[in-house]
Amino acid sequence: MENNETLNNAEENTLETNLNTSETETETTPENTIEQPIDYETKISELNDRYLRLYSEFDNFRKRTIKEKSDIIRSAGEDVFKAIIPTIDDFERAIKANETVEDATPIKEGMVLIYNKLIASCTSKGLEAMHSVGNPFNSDVMEAITHIPSPSEDMKGKVVDDIEKGYKLGDKVIRFAKVIVGN
C-alpha cells in the first residue's frame, strides 16, 4: 500500500510541476537551470526569415526550370538542322553547276543523289515514310482526299494512290498520308 501511495504522490508532484512550467511559459537550458522567458519576436523573425529563404529558393528553382525548358525547346531542332544543312549545300552546288550544263542526265543523277542523302539524314534522326499504297485505309494515319472506283475487286477499301506520303517520327505520326481510296 505504501508503494502505491508513494507512486500516487510522485505522479501528483510531476503533474503539478508540468502544470506550473506550462503556466509560466519559460524555457530552461541544459547548461543552467535558470528559467528565461521566451522571446516571441525573435522566434517570429527567425521563422519569417526561414520562410522567406525557402520561398526565394523555390522561386529561383521555378525560374531556372522555366529557362531550361525554353532553352531545350529553342534548341530541340538543332541536330536535325545540322543534318539537313549539308543537303542544302549540295542543292546550292547543283544549281550553280547546272547553269552551264546542256545535257539533263547529270542533273537528274545529281538530284537523285541529293534526294537519297536527304532521306538518309532524316532516317538517321528517326523519320520514316509510311507506305500506304495497297494497304487498307486506316483513318488513324491516313487522310482520304477522294474516293474513286477501284481498279480491281481486291483494291476495294484499300489505298489506290497517295497524294502526299505520311511520315512518322518514332511511333508518332507527324504528317498524315493524303490518299485516294478505292470503292
d(CA 143, CA 152): 22
Mean pLDDT score, 11-15: 50
pTM listed for this prediction: 0.55
On whether the CB atoms of residues 121 and 83 are closer than 8 A, the answer is yes
- Looking at residue 12, what is its pLDDT? 52
The per-residue pLDDT of the chain, averaged, comes to 81
Structural domain spans, the chain: 128-183
Q: How is residue 36 written as a grid cell?
A: 528565461
- Looking at residue 30, what is its pLDDT? 54
pLDDT in tens, 124-180: 888 898 999 999 999 899 999 999 998 888 888 899 999 988 899 888 898 999 999
The yes or no reply on domain 128-183 and CATH 3.40.50.300 is no
- Looking at residue 32, what is its pLDDT? 54
Report the candidate in 130, 135, 122 with the shortest Cα–Cα distance to residue 173: 130
Categorize the per-residue pLDDT at 45 as very low, low, confident or very high, splitting at 50, 70 and 90. very high
Residue 17 has pLDDT above 90, yes or no: no
Which segment of 29-33, 72-76, 93-97, 116-120 scores lowest on mean pLDDT?
Answer: 29-33
Report the candidate in 131, 134, 129, 130 with the shortest Cα–Cα distance to residue 157: 134
Please name the residues in contact with 130: beta carbons below 8 A apart, sequence gap of 6 or more: 141, 165, 166, 167, 168, 173, 177
**DSSP reduced 3-state for 152:** coil
pLDDT in tens, 58-88: 999 999 999 999 888 877 777 787 888 888 8
Which segment of 11-15, 23-27, 46-50 scores lowest on mean pLDDT?
Answer: 23-27
Handedness of CA 17, 20, 26, 32 (dihedral sign): negative
